[in-house]
Amino acid sequence: MENNTNIVRDTFLPIILVLLLIGIAVGMTVIGLTIFTSTIEKAREYGVLKAIGVSNRQLYTVVVEQAVTAAVLGYLLGAGLALATSAAAGSLVPEFITEIRWLDAAWIFAVTLGMAVVSSLLPVRRLARIDPAEVFRA
């Protein structure tokens, strides 16, 4: 048993850590691109808001809220799929054991929220450069 534990710890855990880091990078990229695209598409509207006096901070809040909303919805969808897959795998292949701990789910949720906030930084920088006068030029 100890030998098997050492093999798993020395062989598989570093691979899983690399996969975890790749997953975080992909998640940040997807959320960032989604929010960036949404921000670019609505640049005109953000310019109008800036022209009527909305502060950059308020615009930043909108973008961060969009990113967090997308991340929470994605997390809920992913968690639901993970639970369904775990249940299906357990019933179809009883030898395949999965364990989803609530502490791990909470940790993943916190990482997801962090990814959303960090991913919203690029679109936020874009908002700061919107010139309200450009919006009214045809």
Residue 9 lies inside a defined structural domain of this protein: no
pTM for this one?
0.76
In this predicted structure, what is the pLDDT of residue 109? 93
The upper half-sphere exposure of residue 129, i.e. CA atoms within 13 Å in the direction of its Cβ, equals 7
Q: What is the 3-state secondary structure (H, E, C) of 94-112?
A: CCCCCCCCHHHHHHHHHHH
In this predicted structure, what is the pLDDT of residue 138? 56
Q: Which of 82, 67, 81, 80 is nearest to 112 (CA)?
A: 67
Q: Which of 23, 127, 38 is nearest to 78 (CA)?
A: 23
**Residue 117 has which token pair?**
């906030």
Residue 39 lies inside a defined structural domain of this protein: yes
Residue 123 lies inside a defined structural domain of this protein: yes
Say how many residues make up the chain: 138
Residue 127 lies inside a defined structural domain of this protein: yes
Q: pLDDT (tens digit, 9 = 90+) per residue, 14-73?
A: 898 899 899 888 888 888 888 888 888 888 888 888 888 888 899 889 888 988 998 899
Residue 129 lies inside a defined structural domain of this protein: yes
CA distance 125 to 131: 13
Residue 20 lies inside a defined structural domain of this protein: no
% of the chain residues with pLDDT over 70: 99
In this predicted structure, what is the pLDDT of residue 59? 87
CA distance 25 to 5: 29
Task: Reply yes or no on whether the pLDDT at 103 is more than 90.
Answer: yes
Residue 73 lies inside a defined structural domain of this protein: yes
In this predicted structure, what is the pLDDT of residue 84? 92
Range from 30-39, 103-112, 124-133 that averages highest in pLDDT: 103-112
Q: What's the domain count of the chain?
A: 1
Q: Domain range spanning residue 106? A: 26-135
The upper half-sphere exposure of residue 23, i.e. CA atoms within 13 Å in the direction of its Cβ, equals 11
The upper half-sphere exposure of residue 131, i.e. CA atoms within 13 Å in the direction of its Cβ, equals 4
**Residue 95 is which amino acid?**
E
Residue 85 lies inside a defined structural domain of this protein: yes
